[in-house]
Amino acid sequence: MPLVVALGLGKGVSLCYQGGFALTDGFEGPMFDQYFPDLAISYQMKISIQKSFALGEDDYIAVFPGFTKAKGVTNIVSHYRIRYDRKSIEVPITYSKLMHISKASDLIVSLSGRSAWDWETSDLNRGGEEAWTYYSFLDQPINKYQRNAVMAHIDYQWSNKWMI
């Protein structure tokens, strides 16, 4: 169940919240007397601040650094589950160029780059060789990784000024 909230603070600054939660299978699978596995609540919350800068009449840059906290259980491959606790810091930046096609339509060309640093602690669980057996590998070493991405996209925007 996702939720996105943006609060405009004025002067091109916004405070943003993105979050969501889901019910997932529990860390250990079902035992012989259970019809269904235990359930776990997984969630992710991100808080960021966004600032936009006008570089000219039709050029813009937006930066929106943020902090993410996520915790939950997920399947990684068949019969293997991970219980994770993740913290992330990310720094995205977007350059956008507005191009006027006509009085009724515009084209927005954007180039975005993002770098994120993650710290994740986790426990692993897998099914055993016999029915209803599971092996848990607790307190795995902390995972530290960096994610980078570059994306270009084009948006077409039209107005209700139809020149009729």
pLDDT given at position 83: 92
* Per-residue DSSP letter, 78: T
pTM value?
0.74
Q: Indicate whether 164 belongs to any domain.
A: no
Spatial distance between the Cα atoms of 44 and 20, rounded to a whole number of angstroms: 6
Q: For the chain, what is the domain count?
A: 1
Q: Indicate whether 82 belongs to any domain.
A: yes
pLDDT in single tens digits along all 164 residues of the chain: 678 898 999 888 999 999 999 988 888 776 667 777 788 899 999 999 999 999 988 999 999 999 999 999 988 887 788 999 999 999 999 999 999 888 788 899 999 999 999 999 999 888 777 777 788 888 889 999 999 999 999 999 887 665 55
Q: Indicate whether 163 belongs to any domain.
A: no
